[in-house]
Every structure is written in structure tokens, then in C-alpha cells.
């Protein structure tokens, strides 16, 4: 007997579909069932020009958003070297993380490009129907805070006013909210995000990004920026940064442009004492725990190896940004870097075929291998071809075609083959293992013969049961 998972959010709809009882709305109405349709390409370390030059491929692969690395003026480390991650003795120096060390909040840096190049990228995105998300980071400055520009110091009333009173004290306990939201993280001094003069200066940057064509933001280290319920830093009178950043409040006469047209989410990495529900009043959040359990199942080649039936988050899954891996899991401790491109792809098909979450595809470096994580090791270059692999493109398009369709996740007894069914309109089949697998599963598809969109493999549905075969670490998308 096969195990069938009906997620709580879609149980009623799934039962209605199987019995013909539809309640107050017909399931043929695409708006009857809430679904997330968007797909994000994280063009990690691609320059603005590189993103613009590849916009047609990005659009053709079915992405609705492309996320850039930080666009702000940043610390120039290692003499401006352009290596993703240089080692002693390398001919080219550099580190990717320097763009995460702001010295000013203006558009343009030596790693990714100028303000004019940013505008050209946004223009290219608009031409192809893609929207730009910018990674923003108001929480801290460069480790060498003396590199902060004189203009920024002046705008906030002096260098000392740029930082929290606790901003140079290291975070010892990341589950202590006062330390977490006011203290120094990884050597990065903590900005006083509650200083109205800083808020005004920062919002000028955000609004400039929007004026240039940005249509969304990813807030780096979002859980390190205080919420209204958090304890105040000695220099702060109220924790209102998120009200300012999301357009609920103005500061010194400036407010967020077009707040209702933006997609905003935050890196709220899950841990003890993280206020996910309060953050959800302002922004969508990253589903970091779900990425972890998904990687566990992929590495075990068994759906049942971890608890994939649960989203592992307090917030509704339609408010989550999901991933198989992020730039942090790939680059920092290399938690996911040892996984093959095929494994990542199978996790991607599983996530993207589903009804909820907004999946983000991390673009690995061009030329990267499981022995050489940095590949060709150049900031600004395009990542490898996985972002437009036929299976990736097929499931991206499947996701949009399945608008309004409830999900069922159906799994073989051995946990090897997963079927994500969307109403009776389409399915994705995923083989988590490195062996060919027979497919014999219940399905919602009507009787008939079907061919998948990538490999033209034939499957037969008879009396609510689908049969066929699927190759190792591959997927088949049918709709």
C-alpha cells in the first residue's frame, strides 16, 4: 500500500477533488485554491551586466524573479580582487562576501557594477517580463568600520550615531534577542537601524533602487533587526525599522515607494526564540529548517529519512521562501556543496512542483565540481548551466501552469519515487535515488497515456494508478 500525504492546507480541497464535492467554489476556478506561482533565480555573484546579458535565458527557463547580490557601495578588500574565494598563492585575490560589508548605501560597487548598469539590467528584466529582487543589508557595516564614507557619517549625525550602543559587543548567545538585535555579528558592527537619520538615508537608497527598476528585496540577517516587542538599545526610543522599511510609517517625510507592488522577504534563520510570527506581520521568511530536512532526505535517497510532510515553520507556507540550498549553505560551512547537481535538481523539482512556498534556485559557480566548489572562481561571471537545465525549466513552467490547483504528495513504499500531483491537471515524478525505479503509484490524472515534457517518457494511467519507469536521479513533468 502506498503512503499518500494530504498537507493540512489542502486536505479539504483534495477530498473534494476525489469525491466530486466542491463546496462553495468549483475547483475549476483557478482562484479557488490559494497557490504560489513565482520562482526566484538567485544569480549569486553575477554582475549586473551578466544578468542583463542572460535575461532571455532566465525568462525562457520560467523564472519570474531574479535576485541580485548586494548592490550597495561596499568595502574594497584584497586590493579589489575579483576571485569568489582566493587561497594563498592564487593568481587572483578576492572574496565574495565583501559586498556584504557596506561602507555606504548608494547603488553600485566594484564587484557587480555601476548604477547605470543596474538600470540597464532592470530595463532588460522588464523587457522579458522578469522582476528584480535586490539583496539589501541595513543591519551592519564593514568589519573595518573606519572605511565608512564621510557622507554616511555626516548623514547620521556623526560616526558614533551610526551604531547601536551595544553594536561593538560580540553576540555570545544568538538566542538572546537583545544580543541578537543589537550586537556585533561575525565581527560586523551593528548599525542603529532605529536612528531616524539612518532610516531616512537608507530609505533614499531603497527608493532609488525602486526608481531604477527593482521590484523586491531580500533582507539579509533580518532576524538581527529588532521588532517592536524586542528590548530597546540604549540609543533607541522605539523599534520601528520594519514599519519604516515596509511602508507603514514615513521617516522625516520619506516613505517606501509602491509598497503594494513589492515582494519583500527576510533571512530569518530558524533557531530557538526567533519571533517568526511577528516577523510575518511585515515580511515573508526563509524556510531554512525545511531546506535542511530536504537535503537529509536527498542524501539518504529516501523521502522517509526526514520529516518532509511538515514545513517546520510557525508561519503559513505561502509566506515562506524555500530552497534546496542557499549561498550560505554552499559557501560558508559547505553544508550543501558536496551534493551533486543532480541531487539539487531533484530537490528543486520537488519544491517547485508544490503548491506553497516561493522557491529560490541558487546558481552555483561555473565550472564548479564536488572537489572544487569555486569552479572558475570569478565574481561577475554567470553560474553554471543548471539554472536552465531542461528539468528545471520544465518544473518552473509547470508551477505557473498549475495555478489554483491543490497538491497531493504521493510516495512509493521505499521512499524512492515521489509524485507531486496538482489537482487532476498535472504531476511531477521525482526519483531521489541513483538507481532506475519502477513507477506504480496512485494518481489524480485521468486515464490515458502521457509523455513527460523533457524526456518524452511514456506513462500509463489506469483506474487512478500510474505506471512506468524513471531513470536515476531524474524527474518527469506531465501536464
Is the predicted pLDDT of residue 15 greater than 50, yes or no? no
State the pLDDT confidence band at 14, using cuts at 50, 70 and 90. very low
pLDDT exceeds 90 at position 10: no
User: What's the pLDDT at 437?
Assistant: 98
24 pLDDT band, cuts 50/70/90, is: very low
> Domains in the chain: how many in total?
1
How many Å apart are CA 300 and CA 433, to the nearest integer? 8
DSSP letters for 345-381: HHHHHHHHHSSSSEEEEE-PBTT--SS-TTTT--TBS
Helices within 234-281 (DSSP H only): 241-245, 276-279
- pLDDT exceeds 60 at position 28: no
Start-to-end CA span in the chain (Å) = 26
Contact by Cβ (8 Å): 353, 398: yes
User: What is the spatial distance between Cα 133 and Cα 112, in angstroms, rounded to a whole number?
Assistant: 15
3-class SS of residue 16 = helix
Specify if 6 maps to a domain: no
Q: What is the rounded (10 degree) CA torsion for 163, 168, 171, 175?
A: -30
**Half-sphere exposure at residue 432, Cβ-oriented, CA atoms within 13 angstroms:** 23
pLDDT of residue 331: 98
pLDDT of 25:
31
Residue 107 pLDDT > 80: yes
Q: What percent of the chain has pLDDT over 90?
A: 92
Assess if residue 67 is contained within a domain.
yes
> Of 137, 120, 143, whose CA–CA distance to 245 is shortest?
137
Contacts of 253 (CB under 8 A, 6+ apart): none
Give the confidence band of 1 by pLDDT, cuts at 50, 70, 90: very low
Which pLDDT band holds residue 30 (cuts at 50, 70, 90)? low
Task: Judge whether 327 and 313 are in contact, CB under 8 Å.
Answer: no
Mean pLDDT score, 186-193: 97
Catalytic residue among 104, 220, 306, 391: 220
Specify if 120 maps to a domain. yes
- The answer to whether position 261 is within a domain reads yes
Query: Looking at the domain assignment, is residue 89 inside a domain?
Result: yes
> C-alpha distances in angstroms, 243 versus 136, 170, 279, 322, 457?
16, 27, 11, 25, 51
Catalytic pick among 104, 135, 267, 452: 267
φ, ψ dihedrals at 239, nearest 5°:
-90, 90
**CB under 8 Å to 364, separation ≥6 — which residues?**
330, 341, 344, 375, 383, 384, 386
In a domain, 320, yes or no: no
DSSP 200-216: HHHHHHHHHHHHHTEEE
CATH for 239: 3.20.20.80
| pLDDT confidence bin for 26, thresholds 50/70/90 | very low
Q: Assess whether pLDDT exceeds 80 at residue 301.
A: yes
Section 262-275 average pLDDT: 95
Is residue 39 a contact partner of residue 399, using CB atoms and an 8 Å limit? yes
| pTM score, whole prediction | 0.94
Name the one residue in this structure whose C-alpha cell is 503548491: 355
Edge-first strand order for the sheet with 407-411 is: 3-5, 407-411, 417-422, 426-431, 475-478
Per-residue pLDDT tens digits for 70-98: 999 999 999 999 999 999 989 999 999 99
Average pLDDT score over the chain: 94
Is residue 33 predicted with pLDDT exceeding 90?
no
Q: Let me know if 391 is a catalytic residue.
A: no
Alpha-carbon distance 332 to 223, whole Å?
A: 18
Half-sphere exposure (Cβ direction) of 459: Cα atoms closer than 13 Å: 33
Looking at residue 29, its pLDDT comes to: 54
Model confidence pLDDT, tens digit, residues 223-243:
999 999 999 999 999 999 999
Cβ neighbours for 57, distance < 8 A, ≥ 6 positions apart: 388
- Residue 31's pLDDT is 59
Residue 18: the pLDDT is 31
Percent of the chain with pLDDT over 70: 93
Q: Are 43 and 370 in contact (CB under 8 A)?
A: no
Q: Is residue 242 part of a domain?
A: yes
SS3 458: strand
pLDDT digits (tens, 9 = 90+) for 419-439: 999 999 999 999 999 999 999
Residue 323 domain flag: no
360 forms beta bridges with: 40
| Strand 426-431 versus strand 475-478 pairing type | antiparallel
267 is catalytic: yes
Q: What is the pLDDT of residue 294?
A: 98
| Domain limits for position 104 | 34-287+357-404
- Per-residue pLDDT tens digits for 316-367: 999 999 999 999 999 999 999 999 999 999 999 999 999 999 999 999 999 9
Amino acid at each position: 500500500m502506498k503512503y499518500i500525504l494530504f498537507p493540512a492546507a489542502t486536505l479539504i480541497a483534495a477530498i473534494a477533488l476525489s469525491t466530486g464535492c466542491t463546496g462553495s467554489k468549483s475547483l475549476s476556478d483557478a482562484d479557488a485554491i490559494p497557490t504560489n506561482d513565482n520562482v526566484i533565480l538567485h544569480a549569486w555573484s553575477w554582475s549586473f551586466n551578466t544578468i542583463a546579458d542572460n535575461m532571455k535565458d532566465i525568462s525562457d527557463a520560467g523564472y519570474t524573479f531574479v535576485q541580485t547580490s548586494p548592490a550597495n557601495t561596499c568595502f574594497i578588500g584584497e586590493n579589489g580582487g575579483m576571485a569568489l574565494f582566493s587561497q594563498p598563492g592564487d593568481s587572483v585575490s578576492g572574496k565574495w562576501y565583501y559586498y556584504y560589508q557596506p561602507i555606504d548605501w548608494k547603488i553600485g560597487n566594484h564587484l557587480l557594477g555601476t548604477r547605470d548598469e543596474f538600470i540597464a539590467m532592470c530595463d532588460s528584466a522588464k523587457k522579458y517580463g522578469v522582476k528584480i529582487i535586490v539583496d539589501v543589508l541595513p543591519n551592519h557595516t564593514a568589519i573595518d568600520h573606519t572605511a565608512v564614507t564621510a557622507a554616511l557619517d555626516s548623514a547620521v549625525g556623526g560616526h558614533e550615531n551610526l551604531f547601536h550602543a551595544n553594536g561593538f559587543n560580540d553576540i555570545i548567545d544568538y538566542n538572546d534577542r537583545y544580543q541578537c538585535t543589537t550586537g556585533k555579528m561575525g565581527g560586523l558592527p551593528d548599525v542603529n537601524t532605529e536612528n531616524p537619520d539612518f532610516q531616512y538615508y537608507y530609505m533614499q537608497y531603497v527608493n532609488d533602487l525602486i526608481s531604477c527598476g527593482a521590484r523586491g528585496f531580500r533582507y539579509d540577517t533580518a532576524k538581527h533587526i529588532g521588532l517592536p516587542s524586542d528590548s530597546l538599545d540604549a540609543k533607541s526610543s522605539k523599534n520601528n525599522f520594519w514599519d519604516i522599511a515596509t511602508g507603514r510609517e514615513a521617516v522625516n517625510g520619506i516613505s517606501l515607494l509602491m509598497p503594494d507592488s513589492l515582494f519583500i522577504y527576510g533571512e530569518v534563520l530558524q533557531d530557538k526564540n526567533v519571533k517568526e510570527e511577528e516577523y510575518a506581520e511585515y515580511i515573508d521568511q526563509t524556510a531554512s529548517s525545511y531546506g535542511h530536512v530536504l537535503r537529509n532526505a536527498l542524501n539518504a535517497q529516501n523521502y522517509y529519512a526526514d520529516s518532509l510532510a511538515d514545513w517546520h515553520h510557525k508561519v503559513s507556507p505561502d509566506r515562506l521562501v524555500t530552497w534546496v540550498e542557499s549561498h550560505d549553505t554552499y559557501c560558508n560551512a559547505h553544508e550543501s556543496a558536496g551534493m551533486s547537481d543532480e541531487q539539487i535538481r531533484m530537490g528543486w523539482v520537488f519544491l517547485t512542483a508544490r503548491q506553497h512556498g516561493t522557491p529560490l534556485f541558487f546558481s552555483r559557480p561555473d565550472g564548479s565540481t564536488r572537489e572544487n566548489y569555486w569552479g572558475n572562481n570569478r565574481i561577475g561571471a554567470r553560474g553554471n548551466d543548471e539554472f536552465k537545465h531542461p528539468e528545471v525549466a520544465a518544473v518552473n513552467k509547470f508551477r505557473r501552469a498549475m495555478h489554483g490547483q491543490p497538491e497531493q504528495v504521493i510516495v512509493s513504499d521505499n521512499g524512492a519515487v515521489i509524485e507531486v500531483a496538482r489537482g487532476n491537471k498535472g504531476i511531477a515524478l521525482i526519483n531521489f535515488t541513483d538507481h532506475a525505479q519502477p513507477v506504480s503509484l496512485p494518481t489524480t490524472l485521468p486515464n490515458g497515456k502521457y509523455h513527460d515534457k523533457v524526456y518524452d517518457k511514456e506513462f500509463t494511467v489506469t483506474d487512478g494508478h500510474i505506471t512506468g519507469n524513471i531513470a536515476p536521479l531524474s524527474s518527469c513533468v506531465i501536464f
